[in-house]
Structure 1
């Protein structure tokens, strides 16, 4: 018995010695896992998280209590309805950081899109570049919206079209200069940027377009060949347009940037310049770029904007026709989406919503 007991004692005495290397290995692996988790917590990843942002009523006021849309007192018709532009919250990109934990949280939260950073921001763009571009797009969006609304009211809004940029290697290089005022194309006066672009389409590829321009106080004649890019004819210049607005209107959208609020700005301006309530008390939100000719263009983040609109209490949503494929199957309960292609159509749709006769309006389904 003692021999057996002694043998057992020796076995027990050696056991801790055999397990010691295994314990150190487990501790080492645990340390590596902790280090990996720590790295994941701070390692930036090339993705952007897009989520629902706030909806802002164009007929409402800013944070300091001033009207978001300001018009002269003698032209103003205050409105109490809701015509909201919608936004997307963006995390990541230039100046921001997205980690694996952020991506996991976005996936779990739902109503968020995770997209590669390069699909949202051009490579090499800085945070300051993003701010400047967003501010410029917002300013242009507001100007176009004001022009479209005033023209819809029958007002004449003259345009001055000048050359804003001449890219190197373009057909116009060496022929047109930045600052040239475009006076005539052929024998037709240039009345606006839309008219000019349309007129250029009547020329064949390689054919020279005769242009009369104002330069240094004198009129000059130039001839620029037409080039076809992506199926569209152009002479290779960037245009700069200045409007002479008959009624001064200003829009204060705060720190929101980008061009996607154009449609709702135009409807808001129209409502403020006309008597009565355009919305009829309905809560309407929407999105879409606005071209000077009244065309509504598609935008990004439509699914997140739908969620943001419904969270803000909207019952109706005006969506660009070009976004319909992204809308179908992603409409929150209680929200009715109306497909729009132009300002005039959107205006009629809102009037029908206000009148309670909107059952036959076009949708994205």
Structure 2
């Protein structure tokens, strides 16, 4: 009898292993945490006030059979197709590199916005071209990696990614260029042939998507300990915390304030994903106020995503659904958020 059931037991075990370890073409998004910003943001000589500003996060992971099934029945766990999260041909590693780059850019934007508001000085030092993705079937595949920083081509340094692209396009397909990259702390030189981009007017390239990498130098110095947090959605809250440490006044004034939203160098607050999950996280952390982007939905986006609404509207709906007393505040800009905190005490 024991031998009779052994094959079925093995089949069940294999199915269980598959359910746990085989990823589906989906991500599961669920509420994360609300992180107090004082331990994360350090402005040299800055004020540490009594109020609490918090950034909010989501938890995002590739779905397997079990996590997919659980998310299907739980509130505020959302199943997202992989193509809505990662770009075409983007590996999971490249996605993580892109999220880290977006976080780094968000931090720099937050510093510039806060320093502009507080009238403090800062400068930028160009560091090179940051490799975000390497396209399959192109010459850079297997040679460069996402996260590499290109500092020279054919021994020539450059001051922007535009200069790098312009130089590459003076060459002909089939010619080789010598690319100098920094990979972590190691300098590497690679010879890479050029190839035509079929969707780029037949212009030559090596097959990477790229961005400028700059180092911001500020007085006073700002350090952000946010290695475990990816993406740009903490920009607004970073800028408010940095500003709060730069000035004598406590903009939170004893309150627990959470929020989310990207920030651009001009202080505009942008749309983010997972707003409902972040409202849930903020409520669990005891936040009294939640700052939500009141983004404008373009006609093109409405056509692509019928039923889409601004982050603020979704946040209000979620707050009502979970029965929280937390006040949801719409913001378009850093200035609006700051004015609200300074005048509504």
Where in structure 2 are the equivalents of 1:28-43 lying within 5 Å? Answer: 38=16, 41-42=19-20, 43=22
Structure 1 residue 109: Cα displacement: 2.3
Q: CA contact under 8 A between 2:316 and 2:328: conserved in structure 1? A: no
Q: CA contact under 8 A between 1:49 and 1:115: conserved in structure 2? A: yes
Can you list the C-alpha shifts for 1:114-153, whole angstroms capped at 9, x where unaligned? 1111111123333322332222211111111111101101
CA, structure 1 residues 249+36, in 2 after alignment: closer, same or farther (shift >3 Å)? closer
Can you list the C-alpha shifts for 1:2-41, whole angstroms capped at 9, x where unaligned? xxxxxxxxxxxxxxxxxxxxxxxxx9xx99x969964862
- Counterpart in the other structure of 2:168: none
Q: CA contact under 8 A between 2:122 and 2:216: conserved in structure 1? A: yes
SS at 2:341 equivalent:
helix
Q: CA contact under 8 A between 2:55 and 2:259: conserved in structure 1? A: yes
Q: CA contact under 8 A between 1:164 and 1:179: conserved in structure 2? A: no
User: Is the deviation greater in 116-125 or in 286-295?
Assistant: 116-125
In structure 2, distance between residues paired with 1:155 and 1:35 = 62
- Is 1:127 equivalent to 2:92 in the alignment? yes
Which of 85, 88, 96 aligns to 2:58? It is: 88
In structure 1, distance between residues paired with 2:225 and 2:18 = 40
- Is 1:151 equivalent to 2:108 in the alignment? no
Structure whose CA Rg is larger? 1
- Is 1:253 equivalent to 2:195 in the alignment? no
- Counterpart in the other structure of 2:269: 296
- Counterpart in the other structure of 1:72: 44
Task: Tell me how large the CA RMSD over aligned residues is.
Answer: 3.4
Structure 1 residue 238: Cα displacement: 5.6
In structure 2, distance between residues paired with 1:239 and 1:133 = 13
Structure 1 residue 71: Cα displacement: 2.1
- Is 1:351 equivalent to 2:337 in the alignment? no
CA, structure 1 residues 35+161, in 2 after alignment: closer, same or farther (shift >3 Å)? closer
Q: CA contact under 8 A between 2:50 and 2:253: conserved in structure 1? A: no
Structure 1 residue 275: Cα displacement: 1.2
- Is 1:342 equivalent to 2:333 in the alignment? yes
SS at 2:318 equivalent:
coil
- Counterpart in the other structure of 1:329: 317
TM-score using structure 2 length: 0.64
TM-score using structure 1 length: 0.61
Equivalent pairs, count:
253
In structure 2, distance between residues paired with 1:157 and 1:69 = 17
Q: CA contact under 8 A between 1:162 and 1:179: conserved in structure 2? A: no
SS at 2:71 equivalent:
helix
In structure 1, distance between residues paired with 2:104 and 2:128 = 19
In structure 2, distance between residues paired with 1:303 and 1:309 = 10
Q: CA contact under 8 A between 2:269 and 2:332: conserved in structure 1? A: yes
SS at 2:236 equivalent:
helix
SS at 2:343 equivalent:
helix
- Is 1:115 equivalent to 2:80 in the alignment? yes
SS at 2:106 equivalent:
helix
CA, structure 1 residues 179+318, in 2 after alignment: closer, same or farther (shift >3 Å)? farther
Which stretches in structure 1 are left out of the alignment for 5+ residues? 1-26, 62-67, 93-97, 166-177, 183-236, 356-365
SS at 1:85 equivalent:
strand
In structure 2, distance between residues paired with 1:273 and 1:102 = 44
In structure 2, distance between residues paired with 1:326 and 1:129 = 30
- Counterpart in the other structure of 1:317: 290
In structure 2, distance between residues paired with 1:335 and 1:288 = 17
- Larger relative strand fraction: 2
- Counterpart in the other structure of 1:47: 26
Q: CA contact under 8 A between 1:162 and 1:180: conserved in structure 2? A: no
In structure 1, distance between residues paired with 2:74 and 2:272 = 23
